[in-house]
Amino acid sequence: MAAWSCRFLLLRGTRVIPPRAPAERPALLVGCIRTVKTTTWFEENVTEDNQEYMRKSMAEEYRRQTAEKLNPLKDEPWPRHEWTEGSRRVGLVAMKLGMVPVWTKTGERHVVTMLQVQDCHVIKYLSKEEYDGHSAALLVGGKNVSPFHRSEKQMEIFRNAGVPPKQKVTAFKVSDSAIIKPGTPLYAAHFRPGQYVDVTGKSIGKGFQGVMKRWGFKGQPATHGQTKTHRRPGASGPGGDPAKVFKGKKMPGQMGNTYITAYGLKIWRVNTKYNVLYVNGSVPGHKNCLLKVRDTVLPNRRSTLLNPPFPTYFTEEDGDLDEDLYDDDLFVHTEPSLTLT
C-alpha cells in the first residue's frame, strides 16, 4: 500500500526552506505539497556501487531488447494486408528538435519543424471490443526512459512487449488490416515526403492568464479617464433577456499545457539515417517535447497518400532508401543555385 508523504513549506522572512532538517524556530506554515507517493525512492537504501550496477544493467538490457526487436519480420510477424482506400495505419511518437528554413525550386522560403523519431515501438494491441467498440487501437511508445521511476503496473505492459519503458505512450486508432505485432520498431520512413500529417502535442503552459492574452480581447484605453480598467473583459453578455452568462463565455483562466493538434502539415523531407521528419510550419510544444504524428484526417489532403508503406516501414524489406528523401518541389542544397526563368 503506497503511503503519501507531504512536503511542508515553511516561510522564514522571505526565504522558503524545504524541511529535510527540522525547523529550529517556529515559522509560518505556507502550504503543503504532495510530492512522492511511495516512502522510498530507488536510490535511498542502495549503496553507490549497487546504484551504478543497476544503471549499467538497465542500459545493457535496453540494448539487448532493442537489438532483439530489430528484425520484426523474422519473429513470427502477424499477417500483412494490402493498403486500401479507407484503411488507417499507425502513427509515430516523435521529439521536436527545432525549426529550420527550407526553399522550393521556385525560390519560395518556407519554415519547417524537425521531428526526430527516437526508439519508437509498438507496445500493445487493443481489439475493437477492448478499446471503444468502434475500431481497434495500437499503443505506441516514444523515447526510452529509466525503469526506476515507473510503477509496477506500467512496467508490466512494457515487459510483455519486450521493450524498454517509454516516456510517452499513445493510442492510435487503426483499421483491422493495419495491426502490427507488439514490439515492432517504427521508423521515420513510415512517412514519405509529399504526404500530409497531423501533429498533436501539449502546448507550452502559460499559467493563469487574463482575457487579453488568452482570447485576444482588446481591453480598454490606457488614458482618457479610465479608472483601474485597462485589461478587463468588459461586458459579459446581453442584458435582462437571458439574464445570465452563457456557458463557455471567454474568461480568464488556465492557458496552455493542453493537447493541441495541428492539421494538414506537409512533409518536405525525411532523413532515414537519423530518423528525422521535416514537417511544414510550426507544431505545438516546446523544444525536445514528445508529439503524436499520424496521417491526416482532412479529406482534401488524403489523395496524396497513395501506396504508403503498409502497415509500416520494415528495414529488412525495403531497406534500400537513400539517406535523405526529398519532396519534388524542394530545393536540395547539392544542386547549383537557382536561375529563375
Partner 1 sequence: MAACTKRLDRFIISLRLLRNLQLQNERFLSTSQCLRAAGNDSESPKFVPPSKPVIVDKTQTVASLRKFLSPEFIPPRQRTDPLKFSIERKDMIRRRKVLNIPEFYVGSILAVTMADPNASGKTNSFVGICIQRGGKGLGATFVLRNIINNQGVEICYELYSPRIQKIEVLKLEKRLDDNLMYLRDALPEYSTVDPEMKPVPFSPTGEVPVNKIKVRMRPKPWSKRWERPKFNIQGIRFDLSLTPEQMEHAQKWAQPWLEYDMLKEYDTSKLEEQIIKEVQQEMSK
Interface residues with partner 1 (CB under 8 A) are 95, 97-98, 100-101, 103, 107, 109, 114, 116, 271, 274, 276, 287-288, 331, 333-341
Grid cell of 116 as nine digits? 526526430
Element (H, E) at 212: helix 211-215
Q: In this complex, which beta carbon is closest to partner 1, that of residue 215 or of residue 331? A: 331
Element (H, E) at 154: helix 152-161
Q: In this complex, which beta carbon is closest to partner 1, that of residue 119 or of residue 295? A: 119
Minimum distance, C-beta of residue 311 to partner 1, in the bound complex (Å) = 28
Please, which residues have CB within 8 angstroms of residue 100's CB and are 6 or more apart in sequence?
Answer: 111, 112, 114, 278
Minimum distance, C-beta of residue 95 to partner 1, in the bound complex (Å) = 8
Q: In this complex, which beta carbon is closest to partner 1, that of residue 131 or of residue 331? A: 331
* CA–CA gap between residue 5 and residue 20 (Å, rounded): 13
Minimum distance, C-beta of residue 340 to partner 1, in the bound complex (Å) = 4
Q: Outline where DSSP puts E strands in 18-154.
A: 28-34, 92-103, 109-116, 120-126, 136-141
Q: In this complex, which beta carbon is closest to partner 1, that of residue 271 or of residue 296? A: 271
* CA–CA gap between residue 326 and residue 104 (Å, rounded): 11
Minimum distance, C-beta of residue 162 to partner 1, in the bound complex (Å) = 27
Q: In this complex, which beta carbon is closest to partner 1, that of residue 117 or of residue 211? A: 117
* CA–CA gap between residue 323 and residue 77 (Å, rounded): 27
Q: In this complex, which beta carbon is closest to partner 1, that of residue 88 or of residue 110? A: 110
Give me the residue label for grid cell 512517412.
191
Residues 89-118: b if buried by 16+ CB within 10 A, e if exposed: bbbbbbbbeebeebeeeeeeeeebbbbbbb
Q: In this complex, which beta carbon is closest to partner 1, that of residue 32 or of residue 204? A: 204
Residues 1-29: b if buried by 16+ CB within 10 A, e if exposed: eeeeeeeebbeeeeeeeeeeeeeeeeeee
* CA–CA gap between residue 166 and residue 233 (Å, rounded): 43
State the sign of the Cα–Cα–Cα–Cα dihedral 233, 237, 239, 243.
negative
Q: In this complex, which beta carbon is closest to partner 1, that of residue 11 or of residue 100? A: 100
Minimum distance, C-beta of residue 286 to partner 1, in the bound complex (Å) = 8
Minimum distance, C-beta of residue 322 to partner 1, in the bound complex (Å) = 14
Minimum distance, C-beta of residue 103 to partner 1, in the bound complex (Å) = 5
Minimum distance, C-beta of residue 143 to partner 1, in the bound complex (Å) = 12
Please, which residues have CB within 8 angstroms of residue 246's CB and are 6 or more apart in sequence?
Answer: 237
